[in-house]
Amino acid sequence: MQLTTGFWSFKSFAAAVELELFTQLSLQGPSTLQEVASVLELEERPTDLLLAACASLGLLEKTGDRYRNATVAEEFLVVGRPYYFGGFVRYCDQREYPAWHRVVEALRTNKPTTWDPKVQDSPFAAEDPVMMALFWEAMHSISTFTARSLGDAHDFAESRRILDVGGGSGAFTIELCRRHPHLTATVFDLPHVCGIAKGKITEAGLGDTVDTTSGNFLSDDPLPDGYDVILLSMILHDWDEETNRQILDKCYAALPPGGALIVCELELNPERTGPPAAALMGMNMLIETTGGKNYSQTEYETWLVDAGFEHPSHIPLEAAGANGALIAVKA
C-alpha cells in the first residue's frame, strides 16, 4: 500500500506548496479552518482535507481549532526563507511527475521523457525559459542543503580557490564561501545559467567572493585553471561512463600538483542494490537524460585513479543531493 499510494502524499504536499499554504500560515499565524479557506480562496471541505493531510505528514500542527506550521515547514517551505525547498517540490510536480507517467516508454526506448533529444542538445538548454527557471530554483534549494553538509564534513582550511564545474545557480559556492570566508570561488557553466548564478550571488552579497565564467565542460578543453580545488557536485550522474571519464581527465589537467577534486553524488553500493535514494535517482536519470545513471563509490574511485588521481578518500554525507563525497588529489 505504501508503494502504491505514495503519490497521494506527494501530490497533497505539492498542492500545499503550489497554494503557498505554509507561506500564508507563516504570515497569518495560527489559523482556523475557516481562516485558511478564506486566505487560500478555497471552500471549507477541500481545505479541511488538505489541512488534515498536511498535519498527518508532519507538516502542520494543530492546537485546539488552529493550525500552524510545523518546524520543518516553517524553515523550508515558506517563500523567501534562506533554505526554501519549494522550488524543488514545484519542479518535481510540474516537470518530472508528468514525465514519470511515461516511464515504461522510457524503459522501452531508452530515451528521456522530459525533453526531446531531437529538438534540444541537452536537458539544460534554454529553449524553455519557464521550465529552466523552475529547474534552477529546484537545483538551488537541493544544492544548498548538500553544500551545507559537505561544508561541515570536509576540512577546507588548506583550500583557497574553488572552480565549481557545472555549478548551476551557484548554490554550492555561495554556501561553502559563507561557511568558510577564506574561500573564493568561480561558477563555470553555460552562459544562460551564469546569468542565473550572478543574480543569486548578488542576492547573497558575495559579489566580491564568487564570480562566474561561461563555458561548456563537455566541449571546452582545457577547463579554466588557477584553482586548487575543482568541485563536481551532482554532475556525473547526468552522463555515461565515457563522458564522465573525459570530464575527469579535463579536471586532472586543469589542477596544479597537489590540487584536489571533489566528487559529490548519491552513490550506489558496490552491489547496485541501494540505497533507495540513489537507485531511484538513477531511474529519474532515465526520464531526464540520454545516458545518465547513478554510479557506485567503487566506480567513481576506479575512474579517478585511471585519470591519474591518487587514492581517493571517501566522506559519507547525509544530504538531499548526495550521500557521499570523494576527495582525490593530483600527484
The pLDDT assigned to 262 comes to: 98
Q: Which residue is catalytic, options 101, 237, 311, 314? A: 237
Same structural domain for residues 144 and 287?
A: yes
Same structural domain for residues 144 and 72?
A: no
State the sign of the Cα–Cα–Cα–Cα dihedral 79, 193, 135, 130: positive
Instruction: Give the confidence band of 146 by pLDDT, cuts at 50, 70, 90.
Output: very high
Query: Last residue of a domain, which of 76, 100, 132?
Result: 76
Q: Has residue 227 been placed in a domain?
A: yes
Same structural domain for residues 214 and 286?
A: yes
Query: Last residue of a domain, which of 27, 49, 76?
Result: 76
The mean pLDDT of 18-27, rounded to a whole number, is 98
The pLDDT assigned to 130 comes to: 67
Same structural domain for residues 181 and 256?
A: yes
Q: Has residue 89 been placed in a domain?
A: no
Q: Annotated catalytic, 182?
A: no
* Structural domain total, the chain: 2
Same structural domain for residues 214 and 304?
A: yes
Residue found by looking up cell 515504461 in the block: 104
The pLDDT assigned to 220 comes to: 97
The pLDDT assigned to 211 comes to: 98
- For the domain that residue 283 is a member of, what is the CATH number? 3.40.50.150
Q: Has residue 95 been placed in a domain?
A: no
Query: Last residue of a domain, which of 76, 96, 123?
Result: 76
Same structural domain for residues 208 and 295?
A: yes
CA 138 – CA 142 distance, rounded (Å): 6
Peptide bond into 117 cis (omega under 30): no
Residues present in the chain in total:
331
pLDDT one-digit tens code per residue, 152-174: 999 999 999 999 999 999 999 99
| Adjacency order of strands within the sheet including 31-32 | 31-32, 66-69, 60-63
Q: What is the dihedral of CA 176, 178, 183, 189, to 10 degrees?
A: 50
- For the domain that residue 44 is a member of, what is the CATH number? 1.10.10.10
- 132 contacts: CB under 8 Å, gap ≥ 6: 126, 192
Q: Has residue 122 been placed in a domain?
A: no
The mean pLDDT of 293-299, rounded to a whole number, is 97
Name the grid cell of 20. Answer: 503557498
Q: Has residue 84 been placed in a domain?
A: no
Contact between 175 and 187 (Cβ < 8 Å): no
DSSP class of 124: T
In the chain, what is the straight-line distance between the N-terminal and C-terminal CA atoms, in Å? 53
Contact between 207 and 197 (Cβ < 8 Å): no
pLDDT one-digit tens code per residue, 189-236: 999 999 999 999 999 999 999 999 999 999 999 999 999 999 999 999
The pLDDT assigned to 230 comes to: 98
Instruction: Give the confidence band of 21 by pLDDT, cuts at 50, 70, 90.
Output: very high
Name the grid cell of 94. Answer: 510540474
Would the pLDDT of 290 be above 70?
Answer: yes
Q: Has residue 118 been placed in a domain?
A: no
Predicted TM-score (pTM) of the model is 0.93
The pLDDT assigned to 306 comes to: 98
CA 144 – CA 160 distance, rounded (Å): 20
Same structural domain for residues 158 and 72?
A: no
The pLDDT assigned to 210 comes to: 98
Same structural domain for residues 321 and 237?
A: yes
Same structural domain for residues 48 and 165?
A: no
Q: Has residue 222 been placed in a domain?
A: yes
Looking at this protein, which amino acid is placed at residue 94?
Answer: Q
Q: Has residue 260 been placed in a domain?
A: yes
Highest mean pLDDT among 53-57, 78-82, 119-123: 53-57
Domain with 286, as residue range(s), is 140-330
pLDDT one-digit tens code per residue, 236-260: 999 999 999 999 999 999 999 999 9
Q: What is the mean pLDDT of the chain?
A: 96
